Chains A and B, each alone.
Chain A
Amino acid sequence: MISAAHAQDGARREEAEALPTAAPVLTAPPTLLEASAPVYPPDAAAQGLEAEVKVQIRIEADGTVSSVQIVEAAGSGFDEAAIVAAKQYRFKPAEWDGAPGPIVVATTIHFVLEQEKEELLAPQPNVSDVNQNSSGSQGAPVTNDPSLPLSISGVALERGSRRKLAGVIVSIVELGLDVVTDEGGRFAFHGVPPGSYQVLAIDDRFDRFRRKLDLGENEAVELKLYMRAKGGNPYETVVEGERETLEVTRRTLERRQMTTVPGTFGDPIRVIQSLPGLARTPFVTGFLLIRGSNPDDSGVFIDGHRVPLLFHFLGGPSVLNAEFLDKIDLYPGGFPARYGRSIGGIVGVGTRSSKSEGVHGSADIDFLDAGGYVRFPIGKKGSMAVAGRRSYLDFMLGFFLPDQEPGQTLIVVPVYDDEQVRLDYDFGRQGKASVFYIRSSDVLKVLSEDAEDDSSVALNSSIGFQRLIGKYERRIAGDLRLSLSPAIGVDSIGFSGAPGGDDDAFVGLDIVSRSLSYRMRTFGKLGRHLYLDAGLDLESRSTRWELLIPLNDDISIDDAIDIPPELLIRNTDSHMAALYADLAVDLGNLRLVPGVRLDGYLLQSQTQLTLDPRLVGRYKISSEWLAKGYVGLFHQPPQPEALDPEFGNPEVEPEQAVHIGLGGEWQFAKNWDVDFEGYFIDRSNQIVATNAATVDSETGDIQRTFWANTRVGDTIGAEVLLRRQVTRKLFGWASYTYSKTRQRDTPDEEYIPSSFDQRHTLNVVSSYSTDNNWEFGARFRLATGRPITEVLDGTFDADSGGYRRLRGERRAGRRKTFRQLDMRVEKTLLYDTWRLGLYLDIQNVLNTVNEEGIQYDYRFRERSPIASVPFVPTIGVRGQF
């Protein structure tokens, strides 16, 4: 029996669209403050009809609704009722760059017939005759007058995370009273007469929450309404406001996309390797191979400051705890002027503020490592977050490894750990400040070795870095913001070898690089059609190399000359300063972004200057179509070792590349879009190792040249990204990249494919969530093999006793095509104050043998493939509170 007709809305922001003209940055979405339940069309109620009406509403700067447009009509009187109801909404207005401003949002108003059992509604008011805004259970109107005593109050919380939910409509069904939760998720009813009631909480993103309560005379009841998200893990979706587009191609991942992709073990940053523009990395090295570039040509930045690596060694996870991750921006080419000193692509990682309502955290554990994260407030304006992770493969294997027999080889495993701390403080109008510290360490640990074998070699290798990054940001004038960010850091690489059982290394390499950097950035609107992003980018780096080689006075090198051993400790200093500016100009549907970057280098006492002009254009053809293009010049300084006065060449110049791209974007259906781009990269002045020598005709002195700017190369390619936007149940993408990269080291050589040339790369990623918190995902990868130089045979070298490879034509062959299917299943168990995720992540489900390399016998006649990752299932547990 229909005992109550209840209509409710879902005035949630599903999608925010910036108004035309130069779009400012959305700093706060609108929040619903007041909503009146729409009047249920009587005829529809009589017929038992329900409906959803999708509307688009314009919210003015004062929070009122000025216009309502039906997007998807429902008929039967629902549309008219929805318009009337929507016009009565009142919002806390959206904030653009911190100031209230108008916005257009889409929302859905639901008309649902509430079927209630009679016994649940006692004492039973005659609700069928009740006007929802004016009726009370005892026949007298109940108006929720704040001057009356508090009766029912509480807070709406997200189940599992305890996040406070603003804008939730809380109703006392029997009384027809509605209130909307405030920014702290709180609600209150005053003057409610005693009786039994049903409290109903409604929000479009969450399942409806019902709770019975008995209210006594002069009693006040406090409630906590834990609301369960509909399908998937919407809490993990970061809804970002519109950001200024100063580049043609930036691929930004949302958190849900980042944490549930199969084959990544929930590691967000690994997901970028499935995006177009990135070639598949050989083995599991985690190199960033962007559009045919060498790994060193692409830059990785955390909060705007360069770091040496993004992933732990030998296939480990990313160096940043997933909870600390705010966003990842991948710029495969044509990146904005604020990024420089790289000629490949850019990966920009943004860390998340530690701002927290109460104490929250997470723990993550699987076969390889365990990590934790916690954030908490400090006073009213401060907050702090701490995270850490450590692998324990060395502990685990230690229990399972049998004792080594004489003659057995070493067993070496990677051991990694990372730690992060972030402090935030909000000065209010005076801005915000933060300090972020990250440390990452990778060590190859020798688990087992043949102690009886004096000739065995123990390997001790390490890679690590630390950064301390400060940031202060505030509004300066109008819509302009100022950001100041100093950073200090240390990078280190170590490698040493020692005879088995001997602690004294006989060969080693230690590189320690200390860096000091500072970024000042001014960005924001200059006018209605102008947007500026300009600043200063300083970086100093001092690198010390210590090479330990057999310093033996009884041996000379093969060329029958001697290199004095005192040259084996080297220092190189680099000081770099840059001024940059991007200015976005809106000319109707066309946005032009001219940019320029001026870099000055002081490299080993040599000064150099580079000027990088760039131009980006985006033209909105229609609401579905957008055309885009760019051209720009990019430079990067030589690597420190190439500048060494003895072993390098201080006169080598910065490397250079021209990026040209043309493409478009097409949104062909709701939640579906295609992004396509053709590009050409022309690289010149590339630094390459040489063995050249010149003889001074007068003195006869011989000067060796170890590095020279003689390499040139280019990449031509195309990328297509077909994407299903993140929705509650389904997301995914298919990306295809064609890339042809060639190079030649000297003008008299023929072009050959580059080492990392990968012609075809296909990635298909999809994930589906059910209503009961199961999530299923799959990822398929197909990639052309890398170029190789075939080894045809061997020649015995009678002077060394070993064999030399007889190589075929240089890089004329290729490895076999790579194919791999990964799958993932995750179940999330929701509790009121925390949640638990259990996942099974299977790499290489089909156990495809993918050849990553070839191993040869001592005379290069017999060969066996070195296979990539086999079938590897991993079970993990992740808890969040």
Chain B
Amino acid sequence: MRVYILSVILISLLLACGSFDDPALVYDMRVLGAIAEPPEILVPTNPDDIDSMALPEIQVCALVADPGDSRQLSYSMVACPKNRRGRCDAAAQPQVNLGSGTVGDPEEDDALVEICETLGPSPSLGEILERSVSIDSLSGFGAIDIQVGIAIWPAGSNVDEAIYATKKVRFGAALPAEREPNQNPNLENIEVTRLDGGQGFDLPVGRCGSITAPVVAPGEELQLLPIEPPDVREDYVVPTLDGEVRSFTEILNYRFYATEGSWGNSSSGGARDISGMLPPLDARWTAPSEAEEIGDGLDITVYVIQRDERGGQSWVQSCLRVVP
């Protein structure tokens, strides 16, 4: 009996608490999300029948934050077969360059900064799909996933300073016939409740400086509740290994980020629990209270990322102002 496997698991769990930065607080250059539009394309069941030149274009966009510096950012996007590293830097594997460029400072540029490129039909994409099928343990049964590797670095500096992200693009097999491609989810709004009392509000969408940020007091605790549009959770079907079909309804989960303050819980949603209940969607955030930190007033960027389990995604960027 593999006693030692359990030992390792438990030791890992016991040691899985450290004193590092909270990942829900954004201090420096980070990628917080990435969207593929559309997130899934249905292709013929037999991978040999896929015509890579007939595939539709897919736009991939990344949500980037860089609150610690005022600078432009350079980027590149490359598509390749999925790998554990999440990067497309292996020379031996087929690749498609989606593009590269330079964008303005995500927090200070006049226009909303978007890092977006398009994956279009090409013979190289066909090679990527072919390779992906060959390395898939199920030979593409169900779906073929490829990845887009994203690298972002301060403009003018060495690429060694780059941060990396990866986004899955799914080519789902049209099996069963009634299967529909996934759509990116979306949010109606974020409802904010002041837990210390006072009038709540809907979180405005936009960057600090471009919207009127709601004012909160130092140390004030807020509850942020994502409000989903009706039918945002899609029903979908998947094949089973024994030739049957099963139906599911999407689950949605949320990640919350802020440039200051502290989070009670910074993720919400997800699968039903054992009793069949959906977990709560809200998150709790507490404004900073240090006078030195707040000064005359402090703008805090808040990000909420919405994800489904099939690679669909959307996000909301907002701003809160802490005033003493």
Contact = CB atoms under 8 A, between A and B. Distances in A.
Interface in B31-56: 31, 33-34
B15 A799 contact: no
Contacts of A704: 137-138, 241
Contacts of B4: 285, 287, 294-296
Interface stretch (A210-218, A376-384, A856-864): A856-864
A798 B166 contact: yes
B90 interface: no
Contacts of B142: 559-561
Interface string A395-430: 000000000000101001000000000000000000
B219 interface: no
Contact of B6 (A463, A561, A702, A795): A463
Contacts of B271: 550, 552, 554-555
Contacts of B15: 853, 855, 866
Contacts of A491: 1
Contacts of A407: 264
A29 B217 CA distance: 88
Nearest to B240: A562
Contacts of A308: 1, 3
B139 A855 contact: no
Interface in A797-812: 797-801, 804, 806-807
A409 B248 contact: no
Interface stretch (A504-512, A650-658, A742-750, A772-780): A504-512
A505 B34 CA distance: 34
B165 to A, nearest CB: 4
A751 to B, nearest CB: 21
B163 A796 contact: yes
Nearest to B280: A454
Interface stretch (B81-89, B187-195, B207-215, B223-231): B81-89
Interface string A548-577: 001111111011111110000000000000
Contact of A702 (B9, B30, B87, B138): B138
28 contacts: A294-B4, A309-B3, A314-B10, A412-B14, A459-B10, A459-B13, A461-B10, A550-B273, A554-B248, A555-B248, A555-B271, A556-B309, A558-B309, A559-B142, A559-B143, A562-B238, A794-B164, A795-B85, A795-B87, A796-B31, A797-B86, A798-B62, A799-B168, A799-B313, A801-B33, A804-B85, A807-B84, A858-B23
B122 interface: no
Given A556-B238, A864-B18, A796 B30 contact: yes
A866 B9 CA distance: 15
A241 interface: no
Contacts of B1: 308, 491, 493, 511, 513, 543, 639-640
B272 A560 contact: no
B21 interface: yes
Contact of B272 (A552, A562, A564): A552
Contacts of B253: 801
B258 interface: no
Most buried by A among B7, B31, B255, B309: B7
Interface in B16-35: 17-21, 23, 30-31, 33-34
A558 B145 CA distance: 10
Interface stretch (A532-540, A602-610, A687-695, A816-824): A687-695
B9 A505 contact: no
Contacts of A800: 307
Contacts of B166: 795-798, 804
Given A554-B249, A560-B143, A798-B31, 16 more contacts: A285-B7, A285-B8, A495-B10, A504-B274, A504-B275, A509-B6, A513-B1, A561-B138, A695-B139, A798-B62, A804-B86, A804-B166, A855-B20, A857-B20, A858-B21, A864-B20
A553 B236 CA distance: 12
B172 interface: yes
Given A556-B246, A560-B238, A859-B23, A798 B34 contact: yes
Interface string A837-881: 000000000000000010111110010101000000000000000
A95 interface: no
A126 interface: no
A506 B248 contact: no
A493 B275 CA distance: 25
A558 B144 CA distance: 11
Interface of A: 283, 285, 287, 294-296, 308-309, 313-314, 407, 409, 412, 444, 453-455, 459, 461, 463, 491, 493, 495, 499, 504-506, 509, 511, 513, 543, 550-556, 558-564, 639-641, 691-693, 695, 702, 704, 793-801, 804, 806-807, 853, 855-859, 862, 864, 866
8 nearest CB pairs, A to B:
A798-B34, A857-B20, A795-B86, A858-B23, A796-B165, A560-B142, A560-B143, A562-B246
Most buried by A among B85, B172, B241, B274: B274
A285 B11 CA distance: 9
Given A412-B14, A853-B15, A556 B248 contact: yes
B190 to A, nearest CB: 17
A173 to B, nearest CB: 62
B130 to A, nearest CB: 16
Contacts of B264: 407
Contact of A799 (B163, B274, B311): B311
Nearest to B10: A461
Contacts of B172: 560
A704 B313 CA distance: 31
A392 to B, nearest CB: 19
Contact of B164 (A295, A309, A793): A793
A339 B149 CA distance: 54
Contact of A506 (B84, B139, B242, B274): B274
B310 interface: yes
B18 A857 contact: yes
Nearest to A444: B10
A855 B12 CA distance: 10
B41 to A, nearest CB: 13
A561 B240 contact: yes
A798 B313 contact: yes
B60 to A, nearest CB: 9
Contacts of A505: 274
Contacts of B307: 799-801
Contacts of B18: 855, 857, 864
B239 interface: yes
A462 to B, nearest CB: 10
A260 B317 CA distance: 65
B322 interface: no
A455 B240 CA distance: 32
Contacts of A461: 6, 10
Nearest to A461: B10
Contacts of A855: 15, 18, 20
Nearest to B1: A308
B246 to A, nearest CB: 4
A875 to B, nearest CB: 26
Contacts of A495: 6, 9-10
A444 B3 CA distance: 14
A806 B85 contact: yes
Contacts of A556: 238, 246, 248, 309
Contacts of B265: 453, 455
A859 B170 CA distance: 25
Contact of B7 (A313, A543, A692): A313
A796 B115 CA distance: 15
B321 interface: no
A696 B17 CA distance: 46
Contacts of A798: 31, 33-34, 62, 150, 165-168, 313
B240 A564 contact: yes
A499 B275 CA distance: 12
Nearest to A699: B243
B239 A561 contact: yes
B248 A799 contact: no
A550 B275 CA distance: 10
